[in-house]
Amino acid sequence: MAIEFSRNITFGQYLSLESPLHRLDPRVKLVATGLLMVALVLSRSFTALAIGLLVAALVQVLSRVPLGYTLRGMRLLVNTLLIVISFQVLFYPTPVTIYWQWWVLSLSLEGLLQGLLLMIRVVLLYHLVSMLLFTTSLVELADGIDTLFGPLKRLGLPVNELVMTFVIALRFVPLLVAELERLVKAQAARGERLDTGGPIVRARKLGALLVPLFVSAFDRAEKLTTAMNARCYRGGQGRTKRRVLRMGSADWFALLATVALAGAMFAAGRMGLP
């Protein structure tokens, strides 16, 4: 049995490609992603989401990330999302155009439309975050977040420590996936097949791997803490940046274009467009 989680879970992995998005300032990518995510969350019409789909297609082309690689990471998301949408459709509170109904369950046009809106919105949100991580290294991401939230240091907030924790958490995602894959292959080498039996049996077999997985994670965290203490890490105090972030013409153009597109999505929802 060949189980390769790392091929299907691509979230948090950086792809070193020479693309226009890779060359953008990380602060611009962070602000642009935040604006588009807010616009998507507030969107309540298919017109606004259609603009979001055009933005996602443009980002996909500019990033030069293979489309198959992007879609591969959405497999687990789609499976989970289908379950959520089923509840959204069947338990819609105030259906009008009803196709089928039994007790509290119903299948209506309004429920189907809301489920479709939810699915498109979640997929677009996941795509935006994935493209941000695909095109921004952890070092650039940490520098961008630290610079954007730098003014909060005056209020006494440990911005550098929080950013470091966030970056380490992202870095642990592919490490934990690789560790889980190693454990599954070790079990398969001992004759324990995890792809046999019903859903409950499979869940129990995978649940038995959680203990060694968490033990390995805590061991990695302890080694990382020891290494940081050995290097006298004391947060951001007195630390300098290897790369000084500067905004260029392409960065300003990308930021203005994002503001315009996010505004168009917000206006499409407010104008009552379908």
Q: Could you report the per-residue pLDDT of 189-228, keeping only the tens digit for each?
A: 777 776 666 667 777 777 777 888 888 888 888 888 888 8
* pLDDT at position 215: 85
Q: What percent of the chain has pLDDT over 90?
A: 19
- What φ, ψ does residue 38 adopt, rounded to 5°? -65, -45
Query: What is the residue range of 82's domain?
Result: 5-270
pLDDT digits over 31-87, tens only?
999 999 999 988 888 888 899 999 999 999 999 988 888 888 777 777 778 887 887
* pLDDT at position 2: 44
Cα end-to-end span (Å), the chain: 48
Angle 202-205-208 from CA coordinates, rounded to 5°:
150
Of 18-27, 64-73, 265-274, highest mean pLDDT: 18-27
Total domains, the chain: 1
In DSSP notation, the chain reads ----HHHH--TT-------TTTTS-HHHHHHHHHHHHHHHHH--SHHHHHHHHHHHHHHHHHHT--HHHHHHTTHHHHHHHHHHHHHHHHT-SS-SSEEEEETTEEEEHHHHHHHHHHHHHHHHHHHHHHHHHHHS-HHHHHHHHHHHTGGGGGGT--HHHHHHHHHHHHHHHHHHHHHHHHHHHHHHHTT--TTSS-HHHHHHHHHTTHHHHHHHHHHHHHHHHHHHHHTT-BTBTT---SS-----HHHHHHHHHHHHHHHHHHHHHHTT--
Banded pLDDT at 7 (limits 50, 70, 90): low
Rounded to the nearest integer, the mean pLDDT of the chain is 81
